[in-house]
Amino acid sequence: MKKKKKKFQPTVTGYELYRKNEVDANRQMIQVSLFTAGFISILLILYAFRVFPLRSYVLVYILFPIAIALLVSTVFWLKRKQLSNPKFKFFLLSCFIAAIALLNVAVPKHAVLGWALCMVLACHYYSRKSVLMTYIVCVSLMLLCLYMGMFYGEYDSNLLLTGAWQNPETGNWEAYLPESFADRVAFLDAQVAAGRNRYLEVFVYFYLPRAATLTLIFLTCYGLNGRTWNMLNSSINLYEQRDRMNAELNVAAEIQTGSLPAPIACGDGFDVLADIIPAKEVGGDLYYYFPLDEKHVALIVGDVSDKGAPAALFMMQTITCLRAFMSIDKSPSETLKAVNKILFEHNEKGMFVTLFYGILNSETGEFKFANAGHNPPVIGRFGDFHLLKCSTGFVLGAMEMAFVKDESITLQKGDIIGMYTDGITEAKNLDGELYGDLRLLKVFNEGRAGTLLELYYGIKKDVKAFCGAAPQSDDRTFLLVQYHGDDIANSDIMLTATLNDTAKAMDFVTRTLKKNGLERFNNQMSAATEELFTNIAKYAYDVPGWVYIRLTYSKIDNELLMIIGDGGRPFNPLEVENKAIQKGDGNQQEGGLGISIVKQFMDEVVYQRSEGRNALILKKKIG
């Protein structure tokens, strides 16, 4: 039994392409319609000014209504916005077929090849049925219109032949050109009676050759239509494969991102801020931080040799190995050697990874590290940053032995470690110049004191300004760590910007204050948190976004610092407050007088807008 061929079923992407083709074809048909109407109008104008004569007024009677009908119908359907209607193509084809039919009746010897235009226009659509139906209708109507033209159209000697009659006044024989319907019927009947069937001759010698020509045009159009149909289906398959690949890459990117810790975090004695900007959907860079115990945190930045999906898989394998071997009982070099062994044994592609791995003691500031062929980090404090002097080591995964060694330094309170990948220092502008270590150090030293966020934004902005329109060729990764020791206690939380999470925000503030023995400030800080969080939840987003809250207790400055940030639309509640006070508006829902209440509890309130994020900074003195 013959297997039935599966009908092509376009997906959403396919239907979008079909619809686009329909709209484009309809638009082109409209243009042809307008051009035809304009051309006919020009002919009529030339005829009206006697630029050329016509033997019969039949052409004028036919062309004028056609021009008017084309113009009116085109404008009407454009105003109705029917270009995207799937049935609109049948209306347009019908209009052209009707126009050619009328012309074929009026001027048989000139308009008969106009049927080919209808076939060509039908080819604009990816529908072989439309081409076939147009051919059948055109072949049938051409025969009918030819016979109607014999009786009603402009006199054509090819159809009717030329008769002769003897002028009784002169006795001369003259050409006989019957004009009326009755005269033509009588003339043709006389020819049949004389043994010459002109009806049959017109079919055989006039219609059949033209029908054969139209058939050849139809076969050509039918073949081209099938070819374009197959090309469209191939394009649809490519689009669908691309969409599937993009979907899979998006899932892979989510999995990759989910395998990394949060980009912003704070622990007892240190802050962390990290980010990866992949050159493709997925990348080979990695950052990782992990608490080994209550006072030790592991800090890692790495860069896989390849790009894209293979690099992402190798990166995931590296992270898995690191998780397995990281321990407070192992030095950084011991951990990297264990990771290298696994990577080398399962490295069929010959890939490798550079890694910088350090362990920070959050109580003493001791920082033990080992470098496996990675860029040395930037270290120091604002105004006094330099590249860390350390051994280069050798990459992991390329050789059976790992050539790395342990080193250590002691950080002072306030010091920052800036770990990064070469996607930053080797970023190029349109002139092919490298960003370089010196420029990176300059950005570090010009940053604002004490704020990792401002430092991060400064680096990101400067790299972007340097590269300009040049494409990103490599992944770019940051891992910024600031050591505070016991002088500063930080806590942060990321919540969803909905009213349901308001209680979670207030509970976070309460727990943090209690942890640091500052319960006496709970009422004021909780009230401020509730007011600001509610405003963000109601007005910052069209759909629920995120809210970031950081609470910092500085023993050195003896103050509480709260930062509430969101990624919603730009909104400065301090400006709204001023307007509300000037108007005497008591509405507090949009940050009007509500922010005034917050300011009464705080010693300083500052608004910042940077990198598409709002941040409200609240400071309160403890003493």
- Torsion region of 266: left, alpha or beta (phi above 0 gives left; psi -120 to 50 gives alpha): beta
DSSP 197-235: -HHHHIIIIIIHHHHHHHHHHHHHHHHHHHHHHHHHHHH
Ramachandran angles phi, psi of 558, nearest 5°:
55, 55
Nearest CA to 334 among 365, 310, 369, 302?
A: 369
Q: What is the pLDDT of residues 491-528, one digit of tens each?
A: 878 889 999 999 999 999 998 888 888 888 888 899 89
Q: What is the pLDDT of residue 301?
A: 95
Cα gap 117→142, rounded to integer Å: 13
Is pLDDT at 303 greater than 50 in this prediction?
A: yes
**Is 410 in a helix, a strand, or coil?**
strand
Q: What is the pLDDT of residue 435?
A: 94
Cα gap 293→308, rounded to integer Å: 34
Nearest CA to 352 among 284, 259, 297, 422?
A: 284
**Among 58-72, 443-457, 482-496, where is mean pLDDT lowest?**
58-72
Q: What is the pLDDT of residue 55?
A: 55
What is the separation of C-alpha 74 from the centre of its chain, rounded to a whole number of angstroms? 34
**Among 63-77, 192-206, 371-385, 501-515, where is mean pLDDT lowest?**
63-77
Q: What is the pLDDT of residue 385?
A: 92
- Percent of the chain scoring above 70 in pLDDT: 80
Under DSSP, the state recorded for 428 is B
| Mean pLDDT for all residues in the chain | 80
Is pLDDT at 106 greater than 90 in this prediction?
A: no
Q: What is the pLDDT of residue 458?
A: 86
Is pLDDT at 171 greater than 70 in this prediction?
A: no
Give the model's confidence band at 437: pLDDT under 50 very low, under 70 low, under 90 confident, else very high.
Answer: very high
Cα gap 514→523, rounded to integer Å: 12
Q: Which residues, in sequence order, are CB contacts of 38 under 8 Å at separation 6+?
A: none
Tokens of 233: 């289906």
Cα gap 448→445, rounded to integer Å: 8
Is pLDDT at 537 greater than 60 in this prediction?
A: yes
Cα gap 427→450, rounded to integer Å: 27
Nearest CA to 592 among 575, 606, 609?
A: 575
Give the model's confidence band at 390: pLDDT under 50 very low, under 70 low, under 90 confident, else very high.
Answer: very high
- What does the chain come to in residues? 623
Is pLDDT at 15 greater than 80 in this prediction?
A: no
Q: What is the pLDDT of residues 317-363, one digit of tens each?
A: 888 899 899 999 999 999 999 999 999 988 877 889 999 999 999 88
Please give the domain boundaries of the chain with CATH numbers for all domains: 12-239 (no CATH), 261-483 (3.60.40.10), 489-621 (3.30.565.10)
Average pLDDT over residues 76-92: 69
- Percent of the chain scoring above 90 in pLDDT: 21
Tokens 């802050």, residue? 271
Average pLDDT over residues 271-278: 86
Strands 613-621 and 353-361, bridge-based pairing: unpaired
Report which of residues 300 and 163 the model is more confident about.
Answer: 300
Tokens 């072949």, residue? 139
Give the model's confidence band at 63: pLDDT under 50 very low, under 70 low, under 90 confident, else very high.
Answer: low
Q: Which residues, in sequence order, are CB contacts of 594 under 8 Å at separation 6+?
A: 531, 535, 573, 588
DSSP 259-310: TSPPSEEEEBTEEEEEEEE-SSSS-SEEEEEEESSSSEEEEEEEEESS-HHH
Q: What is the pLDDT of residue 372?
A: 94
Average pLDDT over residues 448-463: 79
* Residue 591 and residue 573 in contact, taking contact as beta carbons nearer than 8 Å: yes
Question: Side chain identity at 423, as an amino acid letter?
Answer: G
* Residue 510 and residue 526 in contact, taking contact as beta carbons nearer than 8 Å: yes
Cα gap 449→382, rounded to integer Å: 6
Average pLDDT over residues 440-463: 81
Q: Please tell me the chain's helix, strand, coil percentages from 3-state DSSP, rounded to the nearest 5.
A: 50, 20, 30
**Among 183-187, 248-252, 359-363, 513-517, where is mean pLDDT lowest?**
248-252
**pTM for the whole thing?**
0.58
Q: What is the pLDDT of residues 467-478, one digit of tens each?
A: 998 988 888 898
- Torsion region of 478: left, alpha or beta (phi above 0 gives left; psi -120 to 50 gives alpha): beta
Ramachandran angles phi, psi of 375, nearest 5°:
-65, 135
What is the separation of C-alpha 519 from the centre of its chain, rounded to a whole number of angstroms? 49
Cα gap 94→118, rounded to integer Å: 9
